[in-house]
Each structure stands twice: as structure tokens, then as C-alpha cells.
A and B are shown apart, each in its own frame.
Chain A
Amino acid sequence: MPGSLRRGKNSVTILQFFLWSLLKIIVVTVVMLMSVAYTVLLERKLVGRIQNRWGPSRVGPFGLLQPLVDGAKSFLKEDIIPTSVYRPLYLLAPIIALTCALVSIGVVPFGSPAVTGPGGFHIFEISDVNIGLLLILGITSMSVYGVALAGWSSNNKYSLLGSLRASAQLVSYELALGLSLVGVVLSSGTLNLREIVEHQATHGLLTWNLFGGLQFVAFFIYLTAAYAETNRSPFDLPEAESELVAGYHTEYSSMKFAMFFMAEYANMINVGCVATLIFLGGWTSPFGDLIPMPQNIVFRSLLPIFWFVLKVFSFLFLYVWVRGTLPRFRYDQLMNFGWRYLMPLAILNIVATSLWVAYK
């Protein structure tokens, strides 16, 4: 429960709280959808540059209006629904995928909690939940349904095979993802995302969980598991066009296919946000206290957001860089790697971290 309501109704009325939350939700959702569109552009341009060609550069300056044109194209394409699909689940699956991808951003704090709104609640996060990290893991595990139901309802053997492979991959790497975060939880002592960032805020770069918190192994496990969770290279066998036609979204066209596409990129952004909060210090600046914080209220609220966005952007840059560089895993290599190497490594990391915490 948000702290303002627990302090009693005299600090802010329910209506005010409701309206402020609605405003925050609208702003964050709009920013999230725009980021998804521009992440697609980022990927296309970056992969193009890696392959020694320009990315999209005709529409608008440097191709910056390309996402708008892509959105218009997706909207206006003919929406084909094959007759033998199981309609309720066929229509439900992209909704589940996109909803789970967009909801996780609700517990992510993206700015400094020092700047508060009227009534004392945080402006820069939608909700401050004590178990924020567990909720993000829970929503990630619900997104398996989007993939599984899409493949089965399409009534097509390629879709079914693709969705089974994709769901098995998702479920296997979810374990490694969750276990890699336990080390950070042990050293911070809380599951609250805001408090985890505040534990890293003391000396700038050196106290981030990646460097000073000694969680670099956990960071690499998280990175690898995140690539597998979002079905991106080098783990993108379920959607590789040369392997399984198009996997679980073979039978989808126009807006429903665009929803799956958006869900994948929104998942990338979510994973990037969680990684910056947990390993890279969230909204704190890497210089720590060396550069004094300006007293102007506008700077004090915008500067942490700038650092947060910069870190998420560098994470996405790493994502696209890996996609353009590494070849694809085969399916049995993928499952072998997840269960026999990544999960024991994550458990070893937990044991090592708990010994370190007990020693301190």
C-alpha cells in the first residue's frame, strides 16, 4: 500500500491519489509505447551499421519518422483470420502478451524519490510495492501464456512446434533469471526496488551492485537469461524464419502480429529497466558525490531520469550489438546451456553471496 494512504486520509484524499495515479499511468504508458517504436528503429539502424550499410534513412531526418510509418503500415494491413483457428484464444493471446509486457513498468521507479508530489507520494514511480521484484518475476511468468495459447489456437503444426519450443525456452530461463537476482536481494536485504537502488547510492560507480557489490557473475547470468526470455539473438530460434516458418506467430497478421512484436520490444525495455535498477544503480549518477546536485528543482528531478534513461539505452545497445554479432543457438544446445550450466552457476552465485554476507 502506498505510504500516503497508510498515513491516513488527512494527507491526501482518495480522489487526488486516483487522479495523480491516472496521470502517471498515462504518461508512462505513452512514453513506453514511443520507446518501443523507437527501439525498433534503433535496432534496424544499429544492425545496419554493424552490417556496413545505412539503416532506414529515407523517412524524415536520419530515418526518425520511420516508426510512425511502420505503425501506419501495421494498422492498414489486411487482417486475415484463418477459419480453422480457435477464435477466443487466437484473439486473447496477443492481448495477454502485450498486457504482461506493459504492466511490469508499473513497479519500476525511474526517478529520484527526493522529489515528491503533493501529499508526499512519489512522482517518479507508479506504485511503491514492498515486493516489487517478485511482482516483475510473476508477470514475466504469466507471459508464457501468450506464446503457448498463440501456437495452440492457430491449429497449425508449425505454430504448435514453435510455441512449444518457445515456451520451454521461456520457462527454463525464467529460473536462471530469478536465481541471479537472489544474490542482490541477499546483499540489499529487501525486495523493494527503490530500496535496492538506495543501497547502491553511496559512492557512485563504485557501489553499484555490478562493481562494488561484486555481482558481476549474477549480471552476466541475468544478461544471458534475459536474452533467452525475450527470444532475442542468440536465442531466437522460435522466431527464426528459416527454421520454423515464423514460429508461434505464423498465422497472425497486421495488428495482432504488431502486438506480438511490440510485446517483445517492451519486454526488452522492461528487462533493461530491471537490470539498471538492480545492477547499475538505477537513477543515481556514476559520479556519486563528486558533482554536487544543483538546487534547482527542475534539474533535481530531470537529472536522475536522464541517468536512468542513459543506462537503459546502453543496455539496449548491448542487446542489439549481440544480435548483430553472434550466431544462433540450436535448440538442444540452448536447453543444455540453460539447465546444465546457467542454473548451477546461478546457485553457486547465491551460495558465494550468502557466504560473503555472513562474513560481513
Chain B
Amino acid sequence: MHLILFILFAGICLAGAVNLLLQTHPINSALSLIVVMTSLAVLYLQLGAEFLAAAQVIVYAGAIMVLFTFVVMLLNAGREERTRGSRAAVVVGFPAVAVLLAVATTVVQHTPKLGTSTFGDTMSNQPGATNLEVLSGVLFTKLLLPFEVTSVLILVAILGSVALARFGHGEKGAGE
């Protein structure tokens, strides 16, 4: 059951990532990336990170990718042009990647300390404490300072992006 779910969603993830590379129009790449992010959210659920799965859908797939989609739609730059590919890259590249992947697989499979996963394991030692309770217990007590600093970071990012994207002097603007 766990195996079937993993194979299904890992397959969707890989298909989306490969499709991101194969598409020419950026809107198709953006939609493939959304597929990758939602299937990653399901994989997080299988690994027991419930809050992260919901945060991945809300923040990444529901906000950041909306931003990407809007920029692609508004700039409307169209399909990208084909540049001259290199024959050497294809001849040497694909076998090299296959060899590297085989080496990585062998090394990782024979590491003794990595075990198997259990479906949706809980974090804490006491039974009955949900993942959310454990995560928030650490986030708001021991790691409170980084949490507050990230809010300052987001404020700086908002101000920066508004300042960068508004119409500068000397440009024809839509009225501001």
C-alpha cells in the first residue's frame, strides 16, 4: 500500500519535472512544476509531515506558483527559441548521468543506517501527540527568534518587490 502510493506519486513527480524541461512555453513549465509540488506534498504526508504537506500546498503551490503564473501571463513573452544544441552533450551526457545515478544508488542502498520508513510516523515519543503539536512546541519555544526574523525577512521582500516592480520615472505607466 505504501509502496504503491510511493511509486505512483514519485512517478508523477518525475514526470512533472521532466515535462518542465521538455516544454517550450513557460506556462506549461509552470503547470508541470505545480504538479511536482502537489505530489511532493503527498510524499510529505507519507513521511508523517502533515503540517508541511499542507504548507507546501498553501504556500508553494497556492501562492508562489500563482505568482509565477501571473508573471508568465502578464509578460507574455511567448515560446522560447531553440538554440543550437551540442551533439557532444548528448553523446557523453546521458551515459554519464546514468553512470552517476548507478553509483549513487549503490552507495545509498548499501548504507546500513538508513532503514525503511513507516507510513506516517509520528515524531514524538508519547503516543497521541500530533505532528502539529510537536512542531509548534519546538518552533515557538526554542526557535522563536528565527521565526520572528523570518517575518522581518518577508517584510523586506515585500518592500523590495514593490519598489522594483513599480513604474520608474521616465517610463510610460498606467497611472500610479
Is B24 on the interface with A (CB-CB < 8 A)?
Answer: no
Partner of A148, one of B58, B61, B73: B73
Residues of A close to B58: CB separation below 8 A = 134, 137-138, 141
Is A135 on the interface with B (CB-CB < 8 A)?
Answer: yes
Of A142, A167, A190, chain B has the most CB atoms within 10 Å of the CB of: A142
Cα distance A205–B73 in the bound complex, in angstroms: 49
Is B43 on the interface with A (CB-CB < 8 A)?
Answer: no
- Asked if B62 and A141 make an inter-chain contact with CB atoms under 8 angstroms apart, the answer reads yes
CB nearest to A14 among chain B residues: B1
Identify which of B9-17, B63-71, B146-154 touches chain A.
B63-71
CB nearest to A178 among chain B residues: B58
- Asked if B120 and A1 make an inter-chain contact with CB atoms under 8 angstroms apart, the answer reads yes
Name the interface residues of A117-176: CB closer than 8 Å to any CB of B: 129-131, 134-135, 137-139, 141-142, 144-145, 148-149, 152, 160, 164, 167, 171
* Interface residues contributed by chain A, number (CB under 8 Å): 25
CB nearest to A139 among chain B residues: B57
> Known contacts A14-B1, A144-B66: does B130 contact A130 (CB below 8 Å)?
yes
Residues of B close to A138: CB separation below 8 A = 54, 57-58, 61-62
- Asked if A130 and B57 make an inter-chain contact with CB atoms under 8 angstroms apart, the answer reads no
Q: Categorize the interface residue count of chain B.
A: 20 to 34
Name the interface residues of B93-116: CB closer than 8 Å to any CB of A: none
- Asked if A1 and B119 make an inter-chain contact with CB atoms under 8 angstroms apart, the answer reads yes
Q: How far is the CB of B45 from chain A (nearest CB, A)?
A: 9
CB nearest to A153 among chain B residues: B27
Interface string of B64-85 (1 = CB under 8 A from A): 0010011001000000000000
Q: How far is the CB of A282 from chain B (nearest CB, A)?
A: 20
- Asked if A142 and B54 make an inter-chain contact with CB atoms under 8 angstroms apart, the answer reads no
Is B19 on the interface with A (CB-CB < 8 A)?
Answer: no
Partner of B69, one of A1, A130, A137, A148: A148
Interface string of B104-144 (1 = CB under 8 A from A): 00000000000000011000000000111000000000000
- Asked if A148 and B66 make an inter-chain contact with CB atoms under 8 angstroms apart, the answer reads yes
Is A268 on the interface with B (CB-CB < 8 A)?
Answer: no
Is A246 on the interface with B (CB-CB < 8 A)?
Answer: no
- Asked if A131 and B51 make an inter-chain contact with CB atoms under 8 angstroms apart, the answer reads yes
Cα distance A137–B120 in the bound complex, in angstroms: 22
Number of A-B contacts (CB under 8 A): 59
Is A191 on the interface with B (CB-CB < 8 A)?
Answer: yes
Q: How far is the CB of B112 from chain A (nearest CB, A)?
A: 29
- Asked if A130 and B50 make an inter-chain contact with CB atoms under 8 angstroms apart, the answer reads yes
Residues of B close to A141: CB separation below 8 A = 57-58, 61-63, 66
Residues of A close to B120: CB separation below 8 A = 1
- Asked if A152 and B132 make an inter-chain contact with CB atoms under 8 angstroms apart, the answer reads no
Cα distance A145–B72 in the bound complex, in angstroms: 13
Cα distance A89–B70 in the bound complex, in angstroms: 14
- Asked if A142 and B57 make an inter-chain contact with CB atoms under 8 angstroms apart, the answer reads yes
CB nearest to B70 among chain A residues: A148
Residues of B close to A160: CB separation below 8 A = 73
- Asked if B66 and A89 make an inter-chain contact with CB atoms under 8 angstroms apart, the answer reads no
- Asked if B70 and A142 make an inter-chain contact with CB atoms under 8 angstroms apart, the answer reads no
Partner of B62, one of A144, A152, A164, A190: A144
- Asked if B62 and A142 make an inter-chain contact with CB atoms under 8 angstroms apart, the answer reads yes
Cα distance A171–B66 in the bound complex, in angstroms: 9
> Known contacts A14-B1, A141-B62: does B51 contact A134 (CB below 8 Å)?
yes
Cα distance A152–B132 in the bound complex, in angstroms: 38
CB nearest to B53 among chain A residues: A131
Q: How far is the CB of A157 from chain B (nearest CB, A)?
A: 12
Residues of B close to A191: CB separation below 8 A = 132
- Asked if A152 and B50 make an inter-chain contact with CB atoms under 8 angstroms apart, the answer reads no
Residues of A close to B62: CB separation below 8 A = 138, 141-142, 144
> Known contacts A1-B119, A130-B132, A141-B62: does B69 contact A89 (CB below 8 Å)?
no
Q: How far is the CB of A200 from chain B (nearest CB, A)?
A: 20
Some 21 contacts from A to B, beta carbons below 8 A apart, are A14-B1, A88-B28, A130-B50, A130-B131, A130-B132, A131-B51, A131-B54, A134-B58, A135-B54, A137-B54, A138-B54, A138-B58, A141-B62, A142-B62, A144-B62, A145-B34, A148-B66, A148-B70, A152-B27, A164-B70, A167-B66
Interface residues of B (CB under 8 A from A): 1, 27-28, 31, 34, 50-51, 53-55, 57-58, 61-63, 66, 69-70, 73, 119-120, 130-132
| Known contacts A88-B28, A191-B132; 18 further A-B pairs (Cβ under 8 A) | A129-B50, A130-B131, A131-B54, A131-B132, A134-B54, A134-B55, A138-B57, A138-B61, A141-B66, A142-B62, A144-B62, A148-B66, A148-B69, A148-B73, A152-B27, A160-B73, A167-B66, A171-B66
